[in-house]
Amino acid sequence: MAASPVSVSWVKQPYTSCRPSASSSSSSSLLTEYSSSCSALGNPCRKKKQQQPNINITSCSLQTTPPPPSASASASFHFPKQSLPTLIDQPVPSTSTPPLTTPSPSPRPRPCPRKQNKEFSTHQQQSQWDWNPLQRAAALALDAVEAAIASHEKKHPLPKTTDPRVQIAGNFAPVPEQPPCHSLPVTGKIPGCIQGVYVRNGANPLHQPAGGHHLFDGDGMIHAVRFQGDGSSSYTCRFTETHRMVQERALGRPVFPKAIGELHGNSGIARLLLFYARGLLGLLDHTHGIGVANAGLVYFNNRLLAMSEDDLPYHVLVTPLGDLTTVGRYDFNGQLNSTMIAHPKIDPVSQELFALSYDVVKKPYLKYFRFSPDGNKSQDVEIPLCMPTMIHDFAITERFVVIPDQQVVFNLVELIRGGSPVIYDKKKMSRFGILDKNATDAKGIRWIDAPDCFCFHVWNAWEEPESEEVVVVGSCMTPPDSIFNESDENLKSVLSEIRLSLRTGESTRRPIICESEQVNLEAGMVNRNMLGRKTRYAYLALAEPWPKVSGFAKVDLSTGEVWKYTYGEERYGGEPLFLPRSRPEELSDQDDEEDEGHILAFVHDEKEWRSELRIVNARTLELEASIELPSRVPYGFHGTFIGAQELRRQA
Ligand SMILES: [Fe+2]
């Protein structure tokens, strides 16, 4: 069934926070997807008075633009105009993906008052208009250098892993912000127990990449669906306003290096030098972090934190009307002075938060720390590693933290040699470190080798006292660096059980699913009310055809039995979120089964070019509700759910 060729439009009401973007000048691309109008021409926009007094809320109609000629082969980009040429302006060297279109600039809607700390608001105001004549001259000279670098880069074809025409094509392409839209159409019935907000992070580059770009390099954007508990829901998406993004927005183009996409070889070094030169001259400020906050989300100590592992977290507020606003870079009241990985763990019993920090340049390459439920940080525990290692995720048990030290490492010498600094070190032995959660130093860490094991994500871990084993459940990926470096070998992501014996110091590893049913399983989770304890089920994305996600699987971790829920023809999603029926604080009153709850998943129809949020009963895998969304939701990364009570306690 084809979509009707109509554009999105919605009515703006007094005091509404639902604002359209500027109209588009192009009709040949998906720019029209966002060329909304405030007129109600032929549009069934509805104004609905919500329960809050004196506030009018806009209800958005849910029509889409026509799908692209080939959604899978085309891309809809919504970048503001920028002065320097970009790689995207060049013809595509291969036949894989057509060139991207450049839209007209559109004003950013800023409907919400923003609560900001002083440091944050100061940097937000920086722009080239504040530069003195010397800085302007230096900026011109450095721009010429950058143009020369870009010209040099264009002579060499990019690998698919850093080619923006591949990395952010189709529904991986960015979208503009979407102010809150309320009273979304629902098919089915939203379960009454779902009250609060589902938030999911993702990469959404504000500007066209000037050079190489990896999917992970994009600016952080959070998509949020708010559930009132009365069957109604709202949707918004907002950039997390990192220092980086705010400065680049003021300058009108990207100036911070892309950690994965750009830092390759001599041109990568040149871009780094250019970046630091601009910093020295005061043309940009890199002293308050360079992260994009696009990977993970955690709700801890009454704060929603958006994270990427190259920076501190950013505190994002969910407003009473379901909007999102960045409060600022969050250092836990001055306690955190290093980066923090994007997958911290909250113990469901103690409510402590456990985290790691890794450094790619200087020792200590790895630190472990924890926070009490009210946000007091422990001292850092320096974990001795012989080389800087990518540690994207880890696990907790009741007593331990379980730290993977694997074969994807950082080697800056490779950068000088012309390659990527993120490499697969085949000579290195993969291992897991088991450390007491309350350790104050790393003397007691127990390293257990796990040959050729690379788990980008770890879904859970627990202790089995009878056998003196720590059991780790993760997806073992081969080749280990295939996310970062091009490979002829097809990626495999095998759900595995790894047993670490504290008695013998040895490990065993086995696929959980039998070979005949093997399927790539990636982003997902267990019931987080049981994190660190033995769980029967995991809910994981069916990551096929990679890198798309065609559905999710509910896996019995003890038997290997698999139940699949697929999204349908040409429909894809991302991480399935398992929302337990009861919040941790309610568990004492109820006796829920482990799989009692719902799966929430954003799904995009690449044929109809529409996005929806599906709510699936986790026990029966029956669809209970589908919420039509007012704009496209790109495929993204990780999410969490904040209950209504928790929202009311936000700091
Ligand atoms: Fe992740």
Residue 390 near residue 405 (C-beta atoms within 8 A)? no
Report d(CA 581, CA 598) in Å as an integer.
7
pLDDT (0 to 100) of residue 584: 63
Using the structure block, give the residue that is written with the tokens 């900001």: 116
pLDDT (0 to 100) of residue 258: 85
Per-residue pLDDT for 90 more than 70? no
pLDDT (0 to 100) of residue 590: 55
Residue 220 corresponds to which tokens in the numbers above?
A: 């952080």
Residue 463 near residue 398 (C-beta atoms within 8 A)? yes
Name which residue leads in pLDDT, 217 or 89: 217
Q: Report phi then psi at 234, rounded to 5.
A: -135, 165
Cα 149 to averaged position of ligand 1 atoms, centre (Å): 32
Buried b (16+ CB within 10 A) or exposed e, 602-612: bbbbbbbbbbb
Strands in 455-464's sheet, in edge-to-edge order, are 455-464, 469-478, 492-501, 507-511
Cα 134 to averaged position of ligand 1 atoms, centre (Å): 43
pLDDT (0 to 100) of residue 79: 60
Per-residue pLDDT for 71 more than 70? no
pLDDT (0 to 100) of residue 68: 46
Per-residue pLDDT for 574 more than 60? yes
Name which residue leads in pLDDT, 481 or 636: 636
Per-residue pLDDT for 14 more than 80? no
Considering the entire predicted model, what is its pTM?
Answer: 0.82
Pairing of strands 610-617, 597-605: antiparallel
Among 42, 45, 41, CA closest to 12: 45
Cα 393 to averaged position of ligand 1 atoms, centre (Å): 7
DSSP 455-474: EEEEEEEEEETTTTEEEEEE
Cα 315 to averaged position of ligand 1 atoms, centre (Å): 19
Residue 457 annotated as part of some ligand binding site: yes
- pLDDT bracket for residue 134 (50, 70, 90): confident
Among 366, 389, 506, 383, CA closest to 448: 506
Cα 329 to averaged position of ligand 1 atoms, centre (Å): 20
Cα 107 to averaged position of ligand 1 atoms, centre (Å): 32
Report d(CA 249, CA 245) in Å as an integer.
6
Report d(CA 413, CA 276) in Å as an integer.
19
Cα 214 to averaged position of ligand 1 atoms, centre (Å): 15
Cα 638 to averaged position of ligand 1 atoms, centre (Å): 7
pLDDT in tens, 416-463: 776 778 888 889 999 999 999 999 999 999 999 999 999 999 999 999
Cα 294 to averaged position of ligand 1 atoms, centre (Å): 10
Cα 362 to averaged position of ligand 1 atoms, centre (Å): 23
Buried b (16+ CB within 10 A) or exposed e, 619-649: eebeebbbbbbbbbbbbbbbbbbbbeebbee
- pLDDT bracket for residue 224 (50, 70, 90): very high
Cα 580 to averaged position of ligand 1 atoms, centre (Å): 21
Residue 174 corresponds to which tokens in the numbers above?
A: 């960015």
Q: What is the mean pLDDT of the chain?
A: 81
pLDDT (0 to 100) of residue 377: 97
Cα 388 to averaged position of ligand 1 atoms, centre (Å): 18
Report which secondary-structure segment, H or E, holds 187. Answer: strand 186-188
Cα 295 to averaged position of ligand 1 atoms, centre (Å): 6
Cα 529 to averaged position of ligand 1 atoms, centre (Å): 19
Cα 126 to averaged position of ligand 1 atoms, centre (Å): 32
- pLDDT bracket for residue 559 (50, 70, 90): very high
Cα 507 from chain centroid (whole Å): 32
Cα 313 to averaged position of ligand 1 atoms, centre (Å): 14
Q: Which of 74-83, 115-124, 150-159, 287-296 has the highest mean pLDDT?
A: 287-296
Cα 168 to averaged position of ligand 1 atoms, centre (Å): 18
Q: Report phi then psi at 605, rounded to 5.
A: -95, 110
Residue 232 corresponds to which tokens in the numbers above?
A: 């109604």
Cα 505 to averaged position of ligand 1 atoms, centre (Å): 28
Cα 296 to averaged position of ligand 1 atoms, centre (Å): 7
Cα 524 to averaged position of ligand 1 atoms, centre (Å): 9
What dihedral angle (degrees, nearest 10) is formed by the CA atoms of 578, 584, 590, 596? Answer: 10
Residue 216 near residue 201 (C-beta atoms within 8 A)? no
Cα 306 to averaged position of ligand 1 atoms, centre (Å): 12
Cα 457 to averaged position of ligand 1 atoms, centre (Å): 6
Cα 233 to averaged position of ligand 1 atoms, centre (Å): 27
Cα 342 to averaged position of ligand 1 atoms, centre (Å): 7
Residue 195 near residue 644 (C-beta atoms within 8 A)? yes
Ordered by start, the domain boundaries in the chain are: 382-532
Residue 392 annotated as part of some ligand binding site: yes
Cα 53 to averaged position of ligand 1 atoms, centre (Å): 41
Cα 590 to averaged position of ligand 1 atoms, centre (Å): 31
- pLDDT bracket for residue 519 (50, 70, 90): very high
- pLDDT bracket for residue 275 (50, 70, 90): confident
pLDDT in tens, 280-338: 888 888 888 999 999 999 999 999 999 999 999 999 999 998 999 999 999 999 999 99
- pLDDT bracket for residue 124 (50, 70, 90): very low
Report d(CA 84, CA 90) in Å as an integer.
13
Residue 473 near residue 538 (C-beta atoms within 8 A)? yes
- pLDDT bracket for residue 81 (50, 70, 90): low
pLDDT (0 to 100) of residue 119: 37
Cα 458 to averaged position of ligand 1 atoms, centre (Å): 9
Percent of all residues in the chain with a pLDDT value above 90, rounded to a whole number:
56
Number of alpha helices (DSSP H) and beta strands (DSSP E) in the chain = 7, 35
pLDDT (0 to 100) of residue 252: 87
Cα 116 to averaged position of ligand 1 atoms, centre (Å): 28
Among 57, 201, 88, CA closest to 633: 201
Report d(CA 617, CA 600) in Å as an integer.
9
Cα 297 to averaged position of ligand 1 atoms, centre (Å): 10
